[in-house]
Structure 1
């Protein structure tokens, strides 16, 4: 019993000493598990940003509108005499010169009528000449002389009508163009006024579009423009017509751009994008990736000033092209931040690194 009591007393004393010794050891310079707070002064940090210095370039503002191509003129050619079609030299789709034969109708008695009219005119001319000589000699009255003159003139008019009827048996192209349709076939009997063919003129070709009332005042007849067809082909031309009155429903004005089309390569009736230059302004070509938004939602870019501080410039996008965006509102010369613009603040001082150095792999170009 004495031995067991002694052992218990020793264990209790040892436990008490172990508990008491913990705080004492920590005060004697033991390991400190808590790190001191880091001191970070943001104003002393100068992050690297990649920059590019560029100059403004003159850029032409354009009015871009959708339109369609149209022929300059078209005509439905009709028969002026009746008769059967005996010749059709023109094929559908063929390019014809002015005066080219499209169709010929049967003669029937038109040639005979011309010969008869010529003979009658010759007889009336002889009668008039005889009456004229008698009048000069005083052997006939002036009324008889006038009657002979009238009969001669009537015979001359009859000959002209007969010749015209013979000429109208040949249906010819009134202007150079494309034989778009041929409604008559060989052997058809045509009456006066029946359709023979449709002729269209595609040179020049017209690109027609509707311009809103805000922009119509910036355009003038004779201005140059460019048309881009649906298949990607482009052609230049000049404005030949600007409507002076607007469409009642849309309040838009019709404009016509005439483009040369001597070989009829461009068809009518296809959609086209019309670009009309308005004015030339200084602008910068930038990548869409460098655009940022200000706190109020303004679109702009960040640049670096002479003291290497970040500056925000609001911009206006004036045109979007495959190579980038044309923007206005920047100084003539500006050093744009091209990489890192999202991680810096306005007025913050930075270390600019020219992107040309980065591309060349020069030392110190780690931005």
Structure 2
């Protein structure tokens, strides 16, 4: 073969010659004498957030409570003396004026006792008068005169007690109201201390409730209130009392609201929803979704300051509905983050897109 006739030395020499020619015809790669100039990396893009300006407005919040409706006055007439029930001159459920007799008990011998003591009093009055005249002439002793005066005082006391016992056989209405319920019937014998009837005034109502210690500082006597009954009808009232000390068991404060009931509707004893209108405040109305909790569990909102930096501000939640939340603790005007607040952190600079004013 032809390849077998070639000398290996010639082949090697030819390859060396070709390598020299290739190197001579190309560019020789050399390391640069100086380092390349440093170039700044392109600036990172800022997170974009949507911001809306919110302004403070006058807001009148209310405090919602659950309460109990009670009669303005309610008393149980008790038998002060024993006796047979002779007559019930007023029908159960009737409207009664103050001073009207409600029950007539058997007076027994009480009237006769009064007449006897009246006669005794006339006698001792004459004895005291005669004793004073004799004493002036030194015809009796001072002890005899003092005895006559003491006897007069004793008879007067007995007469007053007898008159009271006689009056107690005719219990009267203590105020204008309703003979709500009787506990005896004609012919019954009432013992002293026994219940005779219940008497109530429902022309006004007392609505009582308990207020938490977190909310009691918001209340002032005189605040208007609305009472909503189970049939959704409403009464207007006014806060008349706030307890000074909390209930030791519930740590809540007892409050009373007075409401008028001119139609004397039968609603005492039932439950009701109460809304007490509190004092006016300057507050912001925002979407509940803008509220969040910080690491300490405080309710906060996020906003952007004049340097386009994200900030957090604690707020107090005044009230919240499906339409929005009222909060306090913010300046009169503030640019709250409405979109993108979850992707930024306080202190971070952001790109702001204004969404309008609220």
Report the CA distance shift for 1:325/1:128 in structure 2 as closer, same or farther (over 3 A): same
2:287–2:324 contact (8 Å) kept in structure 1 = yes
Structure 2 partner of 1:235: 236
Q: CA deviation at 1:119?
A: 1.5
* Cα deviations by residue, 1:100-119 (Å, 9 ceiling, x for unpaired): 32212122222222111111
Structure 2 partner of 1:23: none
Q: Give the whole-Å Cα distance in 1 for the aligned partners of 2:144 and 2:330.
A: 96
Q: CA deviation at 1:247?
A: 2.4
| TM-score normalised by the chain length of structure 1 | 0.62
Unaligned runs of 5+ in 1: 1-42, 44-48, 356-367
Unaligned runs of 5+ in 2: 1-44, 345-349
Aligned residues: 302
Structure 1 partner of 2:124: 124
1:62–1:275 contact (8 Å) kept in structure 2 = yes
* Cα deviations by residue, 1:231-270 (Å, 9 ceiling, x for unpaired): 331433124131414423x3x2232123133634452341
Structure 2 partner of 1:112: 112
**1:33-182 → structure 2 map (5 Å cutoff):** 55-72=55-72, 74-182=74-182
Q: Give the whole-Å Cα distance in 2 for the aligned partners of 1:135 and 1:299.
A: 91
Q: CA deviation at 1:179?
A: 3.4
* Cα deviations by residue, 1:14-72 (Å, 9 ceiling, x for unpaired): xxxxxxxxxxxxxxxxxxxxxxxxxxxxx9xxxxx9x9977431224444333323445
Instruction: Please say if 1:208 is aligned against 2:200.
Output: no
RMSD, aligned α-carbons: 4.6
1:211–1:255 contact (8 Å) kept in structure 2 = no
Report the CA distance shift for 1:196/1:336 in structure 2 as closer, same or farther (over 3 A): same
Q: CA deviation at 1:195?
A: 0.8
| TM-score normalised by the chain length of structure 2 | 0.64
Q: Give the whole-Å Cα distance in 2 for the aligned partners of 1:52 and 1:274.
A: 32
Provide the secondary structure at the position in 2 that maps to 1:102.
coil
Q: CA deviation at 1:97?
A: 4.2
Report the CA distance shift for 1:73/1:103 in structure 2 as closer, same or farther (over 3 A): same
1:220–1:239 contact (8 Å) kept in structure 2 = no
